[in-house]
Chain A
Amino acid sequence: MIEAWVIGTLARTLAYGTPLLLGTLGEIYSERSGVVNLGVEGMMIMGAISAFATAFTTGNPWLGILVAAIAGGLAALVHAFASITLRANQVVSGLALTMLGLGLSGLFGKGFEGKPLDSTISNVTVPLLKDIPYLGKILFIDQNPIVYISIVLTPILSYILFKTSIGITIRSVGENPAAADSAGINVWKVRYACVLLGGVLAGIAGGYLSIAYRPAWTQGMTGGMGWLVIALTIFASWKPGRGLVGAYIFGALIHLSYRLQPFVAPQLLKMMPYAFAILALVALAIGPGKQKSEEPNSLMEPYVRGEK
C-alpha cells in the first residue's frame, strides 16, 4: 500500500517537475553568464501557444516542440537585446517580457481555445527497463519522452558548465566580465548565447505543457511556473544537478497537495510549495556562506567595456 503510494507519487513528480526542470536549466545558464531573466513565465507561455498552434495546424507535435523552442528563443532575444546591448535594467526588461508573453499568447491563442489536439506527444512505456524493481515503475511506465530528454540534459549541461572550457568561459563572464573581456572572450556573444539557451529551454517547457502534459490551450495556462523557476534557480545554487532535485521536490509537493487533501486542509496544502520556496530561500540567505559564493558576481550588472 505504502509502496504503491510512494511509487505513484514519484511517477507524478517526474511529470510535473519536468517543465520546472527545463526552465531552471535554462535560467541557470542565463544567470551563470550574468543575466537574470524574469521573463521565464512569458517565454514559457509563448512556447506553449506556439507549440499548440503548430501541432494543431500541421499535425506534428515534435514540430510543435521545435517551434516552441524557436519562439522561446526569440522572446529571450528581446530580453538579451534590452539587457545586454542596450544595458537596460534586467529586472524591468524581464518583467516586461513576462507581461508581453502573457498578453501576446492570449491574443494569438484566441482561435485555439477549446480546441482538442489529436496529435500529441503521448506517454511511453519502455520495454525491459520497465521490469527493473521500483525504478521501472517510477521511470519507465507511462512517462513522457520529454521527461527523459530533460533528465538526460541535466548531467550534460552540468558537465559543460563545470568541466569544459565553454563552461569556464560562461562562468568567467558571469563572475568578472572585464577580466574575461581582456582575456579575449566576447562577453556579449556569450551572454546572448546563454540567454538564448534559457529561452529555448523555457519554450520547450511550455510546449511540453500544451501538447504533452495536458494537450489543450488555455490562456495563462503556465499558471506561475515561470516564477517557481526563478526561485528554483537560486535554490539550486546555479547548479543543474541541484536544479533537478529542486524541480522534483516542487513537483512532489504540488502533486501531494492533492494527494493529502483528506488529511490536511486544502488551502494549507496549496500554500505548501510556495511556503517551501520561501523557506528554502531564507535558509540559503542566512545559512553558511558557501552557497552565497555560488552566485555569479556580476549578476544583473550590464557590462560596459572600459568601466571598473
Chain B
Amino acid sequence: MKRFIVFTLVLLVGLGFMFNVGLAADGDKLKAGFIYVGPVGDYGYSQGHDEGRKYAEEIFPWLETFYVENVFPPDVESTIDKFVRNKDADVVFTTSYGHMDPTIKAAKKYPDTVFFHCSGFKRAPNVGTYFSGLYQTYYLTGLMAGALTETDKLGYVGAFPTPEVKRHINAFAIGLKEANPDATLLVRWLNAWVDPSGAKEATEALIEEGVDGFAFTEDTPTVLQTAQENGAFSFSHYNPMYRFAEDAAVSGQISNWGVIYADILYKVYYGVYTSENLENVDYWWLMKEDSAVLGAKRDMMINPEYVDQLKSTTITDPLLGELSVYDLIMKRREQMKADRVTFDPFIGPMKDRQDIQRLKDGEWASHDELWTIQWAYENVKGPWPDEPTE
C-alpha cells in the first residue's frame, strides 16, 4: 500500500512537470488554451508563440490563458480534452503544422469551442487558421546584405527545404540582387530545426568559401555567434538575438504573434468570431499588421554600427531614381506597411535560376503561390531539394 502511494505521488509530480498547466479557472473570464510543439524556452518557435500569449493576457484583463508545451501530434487530442473538460477552455490554439488533423478531429467533438490552428490549411465552422509571414523582412535584410558585403558572397543556413524556408531564402535573395546584382547567395541545409553543432560547421564551411554575411533558419543563435567570431555579419532569426552578437547582428526578423492572438481573442470575446463562422477565417499577417517586425532587437531596426555604410551605398532604381540603400529600405518598409500595400518582394517579371518564368510582368505572387513555393531565385547557389524543372 505504501509503495502504491509513493508510486502515485511520483507519477503525479511527473505529470505536473510534463503538463506545465497554468492557473486554475475563475469567474466569467474568456479562457484560452495554447498547445506548443516545443519547449517555451527553445528560444525559437514555441517561445515566440508563448510571448504572444503573454502579450494578449497582459492587455486584456478579461482574458485567462494556460498552455502545455512539448505536445507532439499523438497527444494533441487528449490535451484538448483536458483543456475543454477540466479547464473550461473557450478558445484553443494549436500551433504546429502537425497539430492540424487532431485539431480538426477534436473540433468535431467539441462543436461549441472555438479553435484556431497555426500554419495549416484545414478549416471548419469552429476552426480558423492563422500564420505570421516573415518573408518581407527577409527581403529588407537582403537589401542590407547587398550593400554590406565585400566579397559579394552571402550565405544562408537553412533548416529543412520546406516552402516556408524556400520563400524566406528567395525573398532574401531578391533583396540582395536589388541592392547588389553581382552578389550570390550560397545555401547549405541542416535538415533539422535545432542543430547548433551543424549550424556552426555549416557557417564555418561557408566562411571558408568566402562568405562574409549570413541569414539563417535555425532555432538557436549559432550562425550569428559564429559570424561574430569570424568577423562576418549576420541577421538574426525569429527572436531578438542582438545580445548574442552585438557587432555581427545587423538586423533581422522578429516574429510577433501577440498582435494576431490579441486580434483573434478580442473578436471572440466580443462575439465577432463564434464557433459557427470560422470556415473562411484565415490570418496571413505580414509587416503591415506588425506581425513581422524588422530588427535584431525590439526598437532597433538596424544596428547603428552599419547605418553609415547603408547610407553611403547608392543604387539606381527604375522608379525611385538614385537613392541610398538605407533610403530604399525605409521606402520599401513604408510601402509594405501602408494601409494600401504598394510593394511586395514577389512581383514579376521574375525568373527562377533555371531561367523559367515564374511571375509575369507586374504580376503579384498569390497567397497559394507563396505558400507552396519550390523554385530558387536567380542568384541562389547550392543544393536545392525538390527543385521544379518546369
Contact = CB atoms under 8 A, between A and B. Distances in A.
Contacts of B17: 107
Contact of A223 (B43, B195, B208, B383): B195
A214 B226 contact: yes
B244 A213 contact: no
Nearest to B186: A262
Contact of A266 (B194, B239, B244, B385): B385
Contacts of B383: 261-262, 265-266
A213 B17 CA distance: 31
A256 B141 CA distance: 29
Interface stretch (A52-60, A65-73, A108-116, A194-202): A108-116
B186 to A, nearest CB: 8
B196 A214 contact: yes
Interface footprint category on A: 35 or more
Contacts of B206: 258
A113 B41 contact: yes
B243 interface: yes
A216 B221 contact: yes
B382 interface: yes
Contacts of A221: 196-197
Interface in A211-225: 213-216, 218-221, 223, 225
Interface string B191-222: 10011111011101110100000000000111
Name the residue among A109, A221, A258 with the largest chain B CB count within 10 angstroms: A258
Interface string A1-40: 0001100110010011000000000000000000000000
A110 B41 contact: yes
Interface in B3-58: 17, 39, 41-43, 47
Interface string B163-192: 000000000000000000000001011010
Dominant secondary structure at the A interface: helix
Contact of A113 (B42, B191, B229, B243): B42
Nearest to B381: A262
B249 to A, nearest CB: 11
A293 to B, nearest CB: 35
Contacts of B200: 213-214
B225 interface: yes
Nearest to A224: B197
Contact of B43 (A12, A114, A267): A114
Interface residues of B, number: 35
Contacts of A8: 208
Interface string B296-321: 00000000000000000000000000
A267 B225 contact: no
Contacts of A130: none
B96 to A, nearest CB: 17
Name the residue among A8, A266, A267, A270 with the largest chain B CB count within 10 angstroms: A266
B239 A114 contact: yes
Contacts of B208: 4-5, 8-9, 12, 259
Nearest to B157: A258
Contacts of B243: 116
Interface string B358-381: 000000000000000000000001
Interface in A195-246: 209, 213-216, 218-221, 223, 225
Nearest to B39: A219
Contacts of B198: 223, 254, 258
A5 B196 CA distance: 23
Contacts, number: 97
Given A16-B201, A114-B41, A214-B196, A266 B47 contact: no
A176 interface: no
B229 A123 contact: yes
Nearest to B206: A258
Contacts of B222: 214, 216
A255 interface: yes
Contact of B382 (A4, A219, A262): A262
Contacts of B381: 262
A217 B197 CA distance: 12
A12 B194 contact: no
B244 A216 contact: yes
B191 A270 contact: yes
A266 B229 contact: no
A197 B204 CA distance: 32
Contacts of B41: 109-111, 113-114, 219
Nearest to B17: A107
Interface string B117-138: 0000000000000000000000
A110 B41 CA distance: 6
Contacts of B225: 214-216
Contact of B194 (A5, A218, A254): A218
A162 to B, nearest CB: 32
Nearest to A263: B383
Contacts of B229: 123
B382 A258 contact: no
Nearest to A266: B189
Ranked 3 nearest A-B pairs via Cβ: A113-B41, A114-B43, A258-B205
Given A223-B196, A261-B205, 4 more contacts: A109-B41, A114-B41, A218-B194, A258-B201
Interface of B: 17, 39, 41-43, 47, 186, 188-189, 191, 194-198, 200-202, 204-206, 208, 220-222, 225-226, 229, 239, 243-244, 381-383, 385
8 contacts: A16-B201, A107-B17, A213-B200, A214-B196, A216-B220, A258-B188, A258-B198, A262-B186
